[in-house]
């Protein structure tokens, strides 16, 4: 991992998701690029480093794909003039955040692959744990890689499997049997839109419909944004193929027994937008529940409950509803600061926390505050936020976290770092409380997580070290950009 990225990781105490994916097929032949643009805009929270759109005309020259991608936010990369060049009634889009390695335009998605059987465009959310081994196998048989992302490994395998498969969806299914880890895929072939979700269901993927067009998206909020109706979620282990002739065709041959599924709990705690529903469970309702559980399990007498925006707000409201302590706003967030803004240098007076957040002194002065946040990773910002509240006149600051303590790294698409960098590693809750300068500290109990998501099977690996599949023997997360 290069020095720049080590600095970036040390400077940030936020969790990051990998990506958001979006696909659309308009059976009436209308252009889909502008709708994909708005869909990606709704998924911007899932990735803010790069984005892209690839489209094709199903009645045009077979295999001709037009694409545009670049570094930055959706509204920075796309202007009216480049959207207008993207003609096609089928397309895929992607927003990306990388967990390690250099962030470059070459690694932006969707990936477009030209091969013997035609053209594929692919957008991927997730992280493979056997990407290194699969990549080496491909390289030894002559494959030349243009990127350093594991998504290209998936694209190559789909292309190779297509040579011995009757259909592209069969090739996608075969490729998915070779890859291990977390993935939600949207694949565009010349005449089909295909969605695939890993058997554990780590990453979300749903199906929507608007008029005579079908949509695949990471979250339901993207469907709402474009005025589409929610049809259903793609199930863990399912491949769906969308065509005008057959509508939605499902293949569940990769599915696991329900009890083995393992959705990423952080979709509900932090990653997803609160107005999304994932696998039938409201993200907002989950966060309200988390706050209620914190109030039940870690009560404290105080004057005001506040959330660290944005993901702490719903949990703070839940804490307030359960405890009867008033809910209020203590922080003003600068909405124009993304997750990728230029960090102030250490010598600079500007604090990256203060650039993002400021405290409303009138709201907290002279009060005992309960501050709800979604997680503490390294602890490098929690102490500053607590200090900001004290500097604004808070007489007490009690911190409550709507997740359990991080004790293990994640290999499936969340950039939770090595154990030694985690503040909870080898420290008691009391020691962490002392480091961040709070009057008290309480975490959500790990036993509350299943209740929070109405009993859906979830992955708790980052909290208890028990992963749904055997993790890699060495930490390869820094080897390739993801």
Q: Which residues are catalytic?
A: 19
Q: Which residue has the tokens 């979620």?
A: 233
Q: Helices in 298-372 by DSSP H: which ranges?
A: 311-323, 352-356, 361-364
E strand or H helix at 389: helix 382-391
- What does DSSP assign to residue 344? P
Residues 375 and 399: their CA atoms lie apart, in Å, by: 11
Nearest to 82 by CA among 96, 69, 63: 69
Nearest to 47 by CA among 125, 110, 100: 125
Residues 152 and 352: their CA atoms lie apart, in Å, by: 34
Q: Which residue has the tokens 């089928």?
A: 90
Region class of 300: left (phi > 0), else alpha (psi between -120 and 50), else beta: beta
Nearest to 199 by CA among 468, 445, 413: 468
For β-strands 213-217 and 19-26, DSSP reports them as antiparallel
Nearest to 439 by CA among 372, 384, 370, 373: 370
């Amino acid at each position: 991992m290069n020095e720049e990225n080590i600095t970036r990781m040390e400077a940030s105490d936020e969790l990051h998701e990998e990506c958001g994916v979006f696909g659309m097929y308009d059976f009436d032949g209308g252009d889909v690029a502008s709708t994909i643009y708005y869909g990606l805009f709704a998924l911007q929270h899932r990735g803010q480093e790069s984005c892209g759109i690839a489209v094709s005309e199903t009645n045009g020259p077979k295999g001709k794909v037009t694409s545009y991608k670049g570094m930055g936010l959706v509204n920075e990369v796309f202007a009216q003039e480049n959207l207008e060049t993207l003609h096609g009634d089928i397309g895929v889009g992607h927003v990306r955040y990388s967990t390690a390695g250099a962030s470059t335009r070459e690694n932006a998605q969707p990936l477009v692959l030209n091969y013997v059987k035609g053209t594929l465009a692919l957008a991927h959310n997730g992280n493979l744990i056997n990407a290194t081994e699969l990549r080496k196998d491909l390289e030894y048989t002559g494959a030349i890689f243009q990127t350093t992302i594991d998504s290209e490994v998936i694209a190559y395998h789909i292309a190779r499997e297509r040579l011995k498969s009757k259909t592209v969806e069969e090739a996608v299914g075969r490729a998915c049997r070779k890859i291990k880890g977390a993935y939600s895929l949207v694949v565009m072939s010349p005449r089909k839109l295909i969605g695939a979700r890993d058997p554990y269901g780590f990453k979300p993927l749903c199906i929507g419909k608007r008029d005579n067009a079908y949509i695949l998206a990471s979250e339901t909020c993207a469907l709402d944004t474009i005025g589409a109706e929610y049809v259903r979620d793609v199930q863990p282990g399912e491949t769906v193929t969308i065509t005008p002739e057959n509508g939605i065709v499902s293949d569940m041959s990769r599915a696991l027994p329900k009890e083995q599924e393992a959705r990423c709990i952080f979709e509900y705690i932090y990653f997803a937008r609160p107005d999304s529903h994932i696998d039938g469970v409201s993200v907002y309702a989950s966060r309200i529940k988390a706050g209620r559980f914190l109030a039940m399990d870690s009560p404290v007498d105080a004057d005001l409950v506040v959330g660290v925006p944005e993901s702490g707000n719903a949990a703070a409201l839940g804490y307030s509803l359960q405890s009867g302590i008033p809910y209020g706003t203590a922080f003003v967030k600068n909405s124009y600061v993304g997750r990728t803004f230029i960090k102030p240098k250490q010598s600079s007076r500007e604090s990256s926390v203060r650039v993002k957040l400021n405290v409303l002194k009138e709201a907290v002065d002279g009060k005992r505050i309960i501050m709800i946040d979604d997680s503490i990773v390294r602890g490098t910002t929690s102490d500053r936020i607590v200090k900001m509240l004290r500097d604004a006149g808070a007489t007490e600051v009690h911190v409550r976290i709507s997740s359990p303590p991080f004790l293990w790294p994640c290999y499936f698409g969340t950039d939770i770092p090595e154990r030694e960098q985690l503040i909870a590693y080898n420290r008691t809750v009391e020691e962490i409380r002392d480091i961040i300068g709070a009057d008290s500290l309480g975490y959500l109990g790990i036993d509350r997580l299943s209740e929070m998501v109405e009993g859906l099977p979830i992955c708790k690996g980052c909290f208890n070290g028990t992963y749904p599949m055997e993790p890699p023997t060495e930490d390869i997360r820094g080897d390739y950009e993801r």
